[in-house]
Structure 1
Amino acid sequence: MKILVINPGSTSTKIGVFDNQVKYFEQVLRHSRDELAHFDNVTDQYEFRKQTIVDALMQSGIALYELDAIACRGGACKPIPGGTYLIDEQLCHDQANNPIQHPSSLAALIGFDLAKELGIKAYFTDSPMTYELSELASFSGHREIKRHGRFHALNARAVAQAYAQQRNKHYSELNLIVCHMGGGITISLHQQGRAVDVTDAIAEGPMTPERSGRLPARDLIDLCFSGQYSHSEMKKLLQGEGGVFSYLGTADMRDVETAAQGGNDEAQLVLDAMIYQIAKEVGAMAPVVNGQVDGVILTGGIAYSQYVTTELGKRVGYIADVAIYPGEMELEALAAGVLQVCNQEQVAKCYGENLTASV
């Protein structure tokens, strides 16, 4: 089975081609801010990004007609349980018109269009809108607000499954805390194969390189009504210009760590504060399973930092053994999900039929 994988990011699009489980082609297509600046919103980038993908494949000698399926990163849709889904028109409509404009939503739009042209099918696996919270975890503290439970489901579940496999266990047998650390940071508690509690990627959790995470509510209300910021400016303040960026003017943690190592006391303090907040959120997940945690997993781009992982290990190592899976396994996880469907090892879910499962 030859599977094309599409994974768009803010300023790049990762693509890969797999022959069954073997990845024989991978490329990161960079998009400059100037190229993207004239698009009014993310959805408008659809044709540009699609053509870039097609051109890259043709230049690499990969024939589109040889593809058997397309695996796409999940985007901003309505909440659904995890798993692999067939992409249909309803999903594309929901993602194109979702108020959350995220580049990941372009994958399904592009994949669905290419699949129709080629007479094959397109799928996505473990969308960031994956919602599996337990009933107790869904409570926010006010009747008017329900917790969203958005997290880095694709990579979190992939590393959790890899962790289990390497220990000759099944994912559904273990209780694991997975900490994904990138531009966004989410901590998820996986109880026997289900992410029953998570820190929401946009509105909760620790501060991240560019997101504010959970803030003191009353102070946030005062800031909203101060007259200094519009509605859209407030959202940008919290996501994009929050977190480490708000303190140091950069969201590149490599620069922050280099500055800290060079004697910049402010950079050191902010770095340690982020680690401190991450550790608190990891610790907060342990009571969900009465402390019966089989492992704590650190993953994502920031997990390449030996300083960050060492300091986190000191703070959370008492909970369970700490395992480190730096980077992301997104391309591999997407391809694996589709391959299981193609090999009839699992049945692809229907998006529309699963919308009520998380209400």
Structure 2
Amino acid sequence: MKILVINAGSSSLKYQLFDMEGERVLAKGLCERIGIDGHLKHSPLLEGKKKFDEDISLPTHAEAIAAVIEKLTSAEYGVVSSMSEINAVGHRVVHGGEYFSSSVLITDEVMKAIETCVPLAPLHNPANITGINACKKVMGDKVPQVAVFDTAYHQTMPGKAFTYAIPKEYYEKDKIRRYGFHGTSHRYVATRAAAMLGKPISELKLISCHMGNGSSVCAIEGGKSVDTSMGFTPLVGLPMGTRCGDLDSGVLQYLMNKYGISIDEMINILNKKSGVLGVSGISSDFRDLDNAAAEGNKDAQLALDLFHYEVAKVVGSYAAAMNGVDAIIFTAGIGENSKETRAAICEYFGYLGCTVDREANTKRGEEIVISTKDSKVKLLVIPTNEELVIARDTKELV
């Protein structure tokens, strides 16, 4: 079975084609600047096939999907002989609200529910819907499509974890609550952690730290999410590349009144100009901050210290909430690749009885235990693979 995995953004479309026999990636790529001027990067992973990296006209997502199919099936760049070899399509959908606690086969009713969730994710869900409709237009109704939701994994959180302490009618009427994100990533690494530890996931208490430009921490007990740091939106929780994380809402009122800032402007500041970029005044890229801090830049060092401290605080609170933890997982761009970030965060975990193995911690981008053998709590680095989760869920449903 061959499955095409799609992650559609407002002006972009990432894709991977999987052969589920052996779970091999046959090709991957990215359509950029859709609706502007258009660019396609296509990388077949079969020997003898050329890469494609050129500007092409992509007026809409439908043309982008058509271009992807053309490259996947072409003699020069392709990895399959025709579109008929693609058995199903799996889509990343950011927000499923309370409608979906697992991945689902896309029907008209499912599409209506995804559209109902647009106000909860106005930047993401419309693009996901566009990607689904574009695939249907190009590939037809006979190719099954599956929606895999970022929020679904967190639907197992208990009321005490997802409820906000505001008048209850806002939850009852408007579904204002903690939803959480990065669920596909947290689910994948939790499953891999159980395999690495050689124990059933049902017996484990895990804390997953997904750390990239967007970051979140998830408490996982018995394989289920019981708490997570992102909330109603992906803006809160940890300070991130450009997002502020947790913030006293009174600050918004103060700044808006003093400077005459609209609510839309304020949210833009908190989403795109804050986080470690705002604190450092240098960059949202942690590699830039590491370099600047090494050269003595105090603002860069403060931004890093703040991030490490906040991650450690959330991990500590989840260890308390679960009354223990068996392993702490580091994943995503920063978690998988920054030995400095991992080491700095783990400095706070002495009370858990775990110590970093400095030699193991030098490894990047591979599954590895980075705690010493005598550590009571294991420290794991696990590269995430959200696309594989989407492909597996799609295979299971079709």
- TM-score class, shorter-chain normalisation, is 0.7 to 0.9
Question: Secondary structure, in 3 states, of the residue corresponding to 1:142?
Answer: coil
- Residue 14 of structure 1 corresponds to which residue in structure 2? 14
Aligned-residue RMSD, C-alpha: 2.7
The superposition leaves residues 255-305 of structure 1 with CA deviations (integer Å, 9 ceiling, x where unpaired) of 222222233222122112111111111111112212x21111111111111
Q: Shift of residue 91 of structure 1? A: 3.4
Gaps of 5+ in 2: 39-58, 171-175, 353-376
Paired residue total:
334
Say whether residues 1:293 and 2:317 are aligned partners.
no
- Residue 87 of structure 2 corresponds to which residue in structure 1? 68
CA distance in 2, matches of 1:318, 1:36: 55
Question: Secondary structure, in 3 states, of the residue corresponding to 2:272?
Answer: coil
Q: Which residue of 218, 229, 252 corresponds with 2:250?
A: 218
The superposition leaves residues 232-255 of structure 1 with CA deviations (integer Å, 9 ceiling, x where unpaired) of 111111112221122224222222
- Residue 155 of structure 2 corresponds to which residue in structure 1? 131
The TM-score with structure 1 as length reference comes to 0.83
CA distance in 2, matches of 1:257, 1:34: 36
- Residue 142 of structure 2 corresponds to which residue in structure 1? 119
Percentage of matched positions with identical amino acids: 26
* CA shift in 2, pair 1:32/1:69, >3 Å: closer
Is the CA contact 2:96–2:149 (under 8 Å) kept in the aligned structure 1?
no
- Residue 190 of structure 1 corresponds to which residue in structure 2? 220
* CA shift in 2, pair 1:79/1:56, >3 Å: farther
Q: Which residue of 76, 87, 92 corresponds with 2:106?
A: 87
CA distance in 2, matches of 1:337, 1:123: 8
Q: Which residue of 275, 296, 302 corresponds with 2:308?
A: 275
Is the CA contact 1:36–1:45 (under 8 Å) kept in the aligned structure 2?
no
Is the CA contact 1:180–1:187 (under 8 Å) kept in the aligned structure 2?
yes
Question: Secondary structure, in 3 states, of the residue corresponding to 2:18?
Answer: strand
- Residue 150 of structure 1 corresponds to which residue in structure 2? 180
Q: Shift of residue 125 of structure 1? A: 2.6
CA distance in 2, matches of 1:139, 1:91: 25
- Residue 195 of structure 2 corresponds to which residue in structure 1? 165
CA distance in 2, matches of 1:208, 1:52: 34
Gaps of 5+ in 1: 38-43, 343-359
Q: Which has the larger radius of gyration?
A: 2
Q: Shift of residue 226 of structure 1? A: 3.4
Higher relative contact order (CA 8 A, sep 6+): 1
The superposition leaves residues 321-356 of structure 1 with CA deviations (integer Å, 9 ceiling, x where unpaired) of 211124x311111112222334xxxxxxxxxxxxxx
Task: Give the AA of the match of 2:36.
Answer: E
Question: Secondary structure, in 3 states, of the residue corresponding to 2:395?
Answer: helix
The TM-score with structure 2 as length reference comes to 0.75
* CA shift in 2, pair 1:215/1:124, >3 Å: same
Task: Give the AA of the match of 1:175.
Answer: K
Query: Higher mean Cα deviation, 175-184 or 262-271?
Result: 262-271
Q: Shift of residue 104 of structure 1? A: 6.3
Query: Higher mean Cα deviation, 169-178 or 221-230?
Result: 221-230
Question: Secondary structure, in 3 states, of the residue corresponding to 2:26?
Answer: strand
Say whether residues 1:54 and 2:69 are aligned partners.
yes
The superposition leaves residues 56-100 of structure 1 with CA deviations (integer Å, 9 ceiling, x where unpaired) of 424432322111111111223323454221122343344456132
Task: Give the AA of the match of 2:150.
Answer: S
Q: Shift of residue 150 of structure 1? A: 1.8
Say whether residues 1:253 and 2:286 are aligned partners.
yes
* CA shift in 2, pair 1:313/1:150, >3 Å: same
Is the CA contact 1:3–1:68 (under 8 Å) kept in the aligned structure 2?
yes
The superposition leaves residues 166-212 of structure 1 with CA deviations (integer Å, 9 ceiling, x where unpaired) of 22223232111111111221111111122111112524312101110
Structure 1 outlier segments of 4+, above 6 Å = none
